[in-house]
Amino acid sequence: MKNFTLLILLLFFTINSFSQKKQKNYDEAFKIIEVWLEAQKDFEKLPGISAVIVKDQEILWSGAFGKSNIEDDVDATASTLCSICSISKLFTSVAIMKLYDDGKLRLDDELKDVLPWFSLKQQYSDSGPITIRSLLTHSSGLPRQSEVAYWSAPDFPFPTLDEMKAAMKSQETLYPASNNFQYSNLALSLLGEVVAEISGMPYEEYVTEHILDPLKLKDTRPSMPKDLHGKELAMGYSALDRKHNREEVPLFDAKGITPAAGFSSNVLDLARFASWQFRLRDTIAKEILKPSTLKNMHNVHWTNPDFDLTWGLGFSVYKGDDGAKWVGHGGSCPGYRSTLQLNLKSKMAYSVMINAGGTNPGKYLRGIHAIIGKIEVVSNSESESEPKVNLNDYVGYYSGQPWGSESYIGTWNGKLVSLRLPSDNPIKGVTMYKHIEGDTFKRMKKNGELGETMVFERNKDGNVYRGKSHQNYSMKMK
């Protein structure tokens, strides 16, 4: 019995030691992310940007930079609300598929049978039917928009349902059904009306009662709350003009286009929405949807003839640079840009929101993902002895003027890391340095070999004040 007890204890400590060794420390990566986003916010003159990183059921990191309201000096936070615009389509798609699970509609039901008032002209006599499935996959052949100029400044005159119905009488299909991909806000707006027609409830009530409330998405609404505008709801700003200014954009009401573009939310709620999807995919129990139904939504249901675009049931579905399957959606509305993307293999998800037009949240999402991915490489590399200096002595911002703007030097797994700022691709702007002796470091090449030398110099107080590489100096700014 004594030997058996010792064996159990040995096994416990071995497993515990192994798990601790394999556990990843993201703290240094988070710092690089924060430095990068803060700098990009300044260099690209973003009013505010918020982001979140999700690992399955856990929010690993969230942060925000800049202002949600410049005029009133309101800081952006991870809980700041923004328009999520076309990410709204995911909630509409889930509502449709819940009705499907409940046996109240079929994916191959024809739209004209569900909405008898649908009057848009089919100009192709040989076209197949416009179905629920073809609306979800943007392959119905319907035009991109209702025949109303609702994306136009300064008033953004989004149509009511009655105005949409009237406009459809003068519209016609662009393509035969199930023949081409044509992204369509009109299609998803009509699916919102399908939800209302079949459920017998207003669309907004159905989505709130059957999706948002059960998932505890308290900050997600099928509206842009006017009473919160400029406070919890960020002000929206325009794209940059030639003078590098952004103008305030008036608040809009999506009205009849709400199922396609009318929701507001924050990155924390979208993180919970992502966690729900990871959770549902791993179980056999129904939660809003059947697990098999969500998996089917994440499968490819439409492939363009040239194979350059694939779409699921409401979701964009694609293979990432890492070879993994990704699903998600982006959004662009007057004054706001957003994105939500899920890596189904790693169970990592990311969301980014910016309260300005003319921006690319996908760039920031990919940059964040790349930095997190670097952790995998560093964590799996061979361990090295700790440097005999305090690496924090070198941490800070260094001027690159007049040739470049600046660089940030931080720590990463016992090494120094230099990040060029600004940088559209932060990983391409990263250089790793290994400590040699004293204040001397050498650049680490991709193949592991050592390159040129970086020597730091200290002032009379013993503080690092500049670095020298290739015989040229860069001064420490802060």
Average pLDDT, the chain: 93
DSSP letters for 318-375: EE-TTS-EEEEEEEEETTEEEEEEEETTTTEEEEEEESBSS--HHHHHHHHHHHHHHH
Res. 362 pLDDT band, cuts 50 70 90: very high
Percent helix, percent strand, percent coil in the chain, to nearest 5? 30, 25, 40
The reported pTM is: 0.91
- Spatial distance between the Cα atoms of 1 and 108, rounded to a whole number of angstroms: 66
Q: In this structure, what DSSP letter does residue 8 have?
A: H
User: Looking at residues 393-411, what average pLDDT do you find?
Assistant: 96
For residue 198 the two structure tokens come to 């079949």
Q: Is residue 10 predicted with pLDDT exceeding 50?
A: no
In three-state form (DSSP H/G/I as H, E/B as E, the rest C), the secondary structure along 165-228 is HHHHCCCECCCCCCCCCCCCHHHHHHHHHHHHHHHCCCHHHHHHHHHHCCCCCCCCECCCCHHH
Q: Is residue 385 predicted with pLDDT exceeding 90?
A: no
Return the exposure string of 88-101: e unless at least 16 CB atoms fall within 10 Å of the residue's CB, then b: bbbbbbbbbbbbbb
Specify which residues 409 forms β-bridges with: 396, 418
Q: Is residue 186 predicted with pLDDT exceeding 80?
A: yes
**Amino acid type, 449:** E
Domains by residue range for the chain, with CATH: 45-358 (3.40.710.10), 391-475 (2.40.128.600)
Q: Is residue 112 predicted with pLDDT exceeding 80?
A: yes
- Spatial distance between the Cα atoms of 106 and 194, rounded to a whole number of angstroms: 12
pLDDT digits (tens, 9 = 90+) for 196-246: 999 999 999 999 999 999 999 999 999 999 999 999 999 999 999 999 999
User: Looking at residues 23-45, what average pLDDT do you find?
Assistant: 92
- Spatial distance between the Cα atoms of 401 and 302, rounded to a whole number of angstroms: 50
| φ/ψ of residue 394, rounded to 5 | -100, -10
pLDDT digits (tens, 9 = 90+) for 261-271: 999 999 999 99
Instruction: Return the pLDDT at 379.
Output: 47
| φ/ψ of residue 258, rounded to 5 | -50, -45
